[in-house]
A and B are shown apart, each in its own frame.
Chain A
Amino acid sequence: MKPVSGDRWRGVAERSWRPAALLLACLAIWHLITVTGLVEAYLVPSPGKTFDLLVDKWSYLWGHTWVTTYETLLGFVIAGILGVLMAVAMVYSRTIESTAYPILLFAQVIPKIAIAPLFVVWLGFGFEPKVIVAVLMAFFPVVISTVTGLKSVDAEMLELAATMGGGPVKTFVKIRFPAALPHLFAGLKVAVTLAVTGAVVGEFVGSNEGLGYVILQANGNMDTPMLFAGLIVISVVGILLFLLLDLAEQLMLPWHSSRRGAAVTTLLAKGGS
């Protein structure tokens, strides 16, 4: 059940070599495209040039990365808390569920990039509009997954709880909520990647800092190496946040992850979507 640590690391190596090889292959193709002159260098910079820039402009990028990460995390946490509360309310009250669902769906289908300018008009160029867009992006998957999780509880288990007489609060704390955690985590992992997108979208619309701003600036200056560097950093932030949640899930739900399989499996499964 618990592999000894030597096995564990070998397991990690066995699972990671395929994605690592794929990544290398992509880099190689990227490199080949640029050195053969298939595409002009000002359109696609070579990987070498991009990485040189990543190193040279590190402190500049780092500051903007921190801004975007901050907006992302704040939006994600707010969406997580509000999403779970909303889901609990919807599961326990049919009235709230039927009232909230259409609004929720409406908020989900409306293009965030289209309403982001409105938040800038209302709230200015600070971090608030970015956080709001991140919240809007991340909220929906949290609600849906938590509702699914809370409803997935075995009906017999709830009947059993009724014969034990613990009342609704104990039943929620000891049975319903823990049972919903695997679903909740699945939703959180989707939500965190969407929160990154939300923050960057918010920055596109109006800002003077953050990775979205970096990309917009680079675009205006035809500075493709910087544009590529910005894209890479955004992806790395998203992936790291995702992996962090995956780790948290494994630590908090060992009973679940021991049967679900490896972290990398879910990462790849998600990467495909």
Chain B
Amino acid sequence: MSITLGTTSAVAINDVSVRFHSKRTEVTAIQQVSLDVAPGEFVSIVGPSGCGKSTLLKLVSGLLKPSSGSVTLLGEEVRGPRHDIGFVFQRAALLEWRSARKNILLQAEMRGMNSAEAGKRADELIEMTGLSGFENALPHELSGGMQQRVALCRALLHQPRVLLMDEPFGALDALTREQMNVELHRVWRETGTTVLLVTHSIAESVYLANRVIVLTQRPAVVKEVIEVDLPSERDYSATMARPEFAAATAHIRDLLGAVTGHD
């Protein structure tokens, strides 16, 4: 299975709509959204709560089928759950009977990866995300931030070409969140993974991304796409201090204020 990158987008969402039917109502979560993500690109997605951001990521992963339109991932149309991605949910979703390390290795066991190699890679990721010393701790013995880091390691273990993250840092305190942002930025630069990040933090969306997609209130349509004009080497506080950063965040804040009806 070879695909020519460069000409192909890593993720291509073509005119996709999603409608949920329930007994009483029909909800249109996403309406005719199109989006192309280049290989190695980092795209942030922001939008009001309940507008359809999680739905969008589930579409890309194949956990959800679009009502109309199509999604192409790494040159192949998405028809069912895809295995060539890493997914981080808003909640860490760890198995409570497995240690941190064993939770990371679940990825390897499910995929039938070589266990020696997977173990080595898990140790590298543990080291990189600052979990050393907590390999054998059970999830309930870890802080929320640490649990989230375990989930991130698990999503990176098999070196996926595309990483989907759904508000992964929502439960963290401001400082840990900054550290995780710096960490994620470094991982992204080192691995060249394509990342789609859903977030509620405007600063996070700008700091990490090449592009920020602003969605409207449900049914979600793309309100605007902001190109982030920042150097790819991003020191955290230096980046925060740049005028381009301030301009981008202010612009996104205005857009979100407009779509949610606040000022």
Binding site for B on A (CB under 8 A): 1, 154, 156-157, 159-166, 170-171, 174-175, 178-179, 253, 255-256, 259
Residue of B nearest to A162 (CB): B81
User: Which of A157, A163, A178 is in CB contact (< 8 Å) with B85?
Assistant: A163
Q: In the complex, are the beta carbons of A256 and B97 less than 8 A apart?
A: yes
Q: In the complex, are the beta carbons of A163 and B61 less than 8 A apart?
A: yes
Q: In the complex, are the beta carbons of B138 and A170 less than 8 A apart?
A: no
Residue of A nearest to B164 (CB): A163
Residue interface bits B2-42, CB-to-A below 8 A is 1, else 0 = 00000000000000000000000000000000000000000
User: How far, in whole Å, are A156 and B92 apart by their CA atoms in the complex?
Assistant: 10
Contacting residues, chain A, for B63 (C-beta < 8 A): 159, 162-163
Q: Which of B105-113, B187-195, B249-257 contacts A (4 or more CB under 8 A)?
A: B105-113
B229 CB-CB contact with A under 8 Å: no
Interface size class of B (residues with CB under 8 A): 20 to 34
User: How far, in whole Å, are A68 and B109 apart by their CA atoms in the complex?
Assistant: 44
6 additional A-B residue pairs with CB within 8 Å, beyond A156-B91, A159-B63, A163-B81: A157-B93, A163-B87, A164-B110, A166-B110, A170-B110, A171-B110
Binding site for A on B (CB under 8 A): 58, 61, 63, 81-83, 85-87, 89, 91, 93, 95-97, 106-107, 109-112, 138, 140-141
Contacting residues, chain A, for B95 (C-beta < 8 A): 157, 174-175, 178-179
User: Which of A159, A174, A253 is in CB contact (< 8 Å) with B109?
Assistant: A174
User: Which of B83, B97, B109 is in CB contact (< 8 Å) with A170?
Assistant: B109
User: How far, in whole Å, are A261 and B163 apart by their CA atoms in the complex?
Assistant: 39
User: How far, in whole Å, are A170 and B83 apart by their CA atoms in the complex?
Assistant: 15
Going nearest first, the 7 A-B pairs with the smallest beta carbon separation are A166-B110, A165-B83, A164-B110, A162-B81, A255-B97, A156-B93, A163-B87
User: How far, in whole Å, are A253 and B97 apart by their CA atoms in the complex?
Assistant: 8
Contacting residues, chain B, for A154 (C-beta < 8 A): 93
Q: In the complex, are the beta carbons of A156 and B109 less than 8 A apart?
A: no
